[in-house]
């Protein structure tokens, strides 16, 4: 399929044939070229970001490509490091970009979250925690803002489920996910941040390679390369590599619903 046949914007849903043709076209391009293509072709385009290095690179690149970059969506779990919240303010000031902040449903702060879910939900039910702080807020944001496509910070060199990453994907809800830096290594990202004076999380200067919630993030071990880039995340749970945001939404929703039923049943049983 010729590149010229791609509609501007793309007509959804995409067929497997068109998606394959798009990825064939995008794969050899640079991140800047992929982003420039996205600005023309992807409908309802936003950028979801936790303000990690790759997302920051995309923000900086977009600021140089257009005067009206896609708005940002920040999923505030309420358990980010203080340094992360500081970075959000720095990015807003430097780039003058709108940041849509979404917190867990009905929870404006940690106190409200604890009242709704109890203490240390991430230890008692990791799946429900992921759904409550990332998956549900993301879906709510997409519905309220009319999001059809999102720019992500995922890269193949991060390994695990991301190892076979392609430039453009379609998730189970039909959402288009663009991964403009899918082919870059951690070294590529770090060099861009340095050369372009991009603001970044202060914790990255203290031995962290990837920063998430404070309760599930540790400093990376000495000598770890790209393969250990996310090793500081969920370090005591080797099987976990994602927060749920890039997993099957309907599966996550069903698991969260069942977890709530089980918790309610346990409460009734205890009361009896």
CA 172 – CA 109 distance, rounded (Å): 30
Number of Cβ within 10 Å of residue 144's Cβ equals: 10
Active site residues: 243
User: Are 80 and 203 contacting, i.e. CB atoms less than 8 angstroms apart?
Assistant: no
Dihedral in degrees, nearest 10, Cα atoms 128, 158, 47, 94: 120
CA 104 – CA 65 distance, rounded (Å): 33
Number of H helices, E strands in the chain: 10, 6
Determine the distance from the C-alpha atom of residue 58 to the mean position of all C-alpha atoms in its chain, rounded to a whole number: 12
């Amino acid at each position: 399929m010729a590149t010229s046949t791609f509609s501007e914007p793309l007509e959804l849903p995409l067929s497997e044939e068109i998606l394959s043709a798009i990825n064939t076209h995008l794969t050899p391009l640079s991140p800047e070229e992929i982003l420039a293509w996205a600005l023309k072709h992807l409908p309802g385009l936003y950028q979801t970001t936790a303000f990690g290095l790759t997302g920051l690179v995309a923000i900086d690149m977009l600021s140089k490509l257009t005067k009206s970059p896609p708005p940002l969506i920040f999923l505030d779990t309420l358990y980010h490091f203080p340094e992360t919240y500081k970075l959000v303010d720095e990015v807003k000031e430097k780039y003058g970009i709108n940041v849509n902040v979404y917190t867990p449903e009905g929870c404006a702060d940690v106190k409200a979250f604890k009242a709704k879910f109890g203490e240390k939900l991430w230890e008692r039910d990791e799946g429900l925690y992921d759904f409550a702080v990332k998956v549900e807020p993301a879906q709510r944001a997409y519905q309220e803002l009319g999001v059809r496509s999102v720019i992500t910070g995922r890269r193949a060199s991060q390994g695990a489920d991301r190892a076979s990453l392609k430039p453009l994907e379609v998730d189970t809800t039909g959402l288009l996910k663009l991964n403009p830096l899918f082919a870059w290594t951690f070294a590529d990202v770090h060099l861009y941040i340095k050369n372009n004076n991009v603001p970044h999380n202060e914790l990255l200067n203290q031995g962290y390679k990837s920063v998430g919630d404070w309760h599930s993030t540790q400093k990376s071990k000495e000598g770890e390369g790209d393969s250990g880039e996310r090793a500081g995340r969920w370090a005591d749970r080797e099987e976990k590599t994602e927060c749920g945001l890039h997993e099957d939404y309907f599966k996550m929703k069903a698991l969260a619903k069942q977890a709530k039923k089980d918790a309610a049943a346990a409460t009734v049983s205890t009361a009896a």
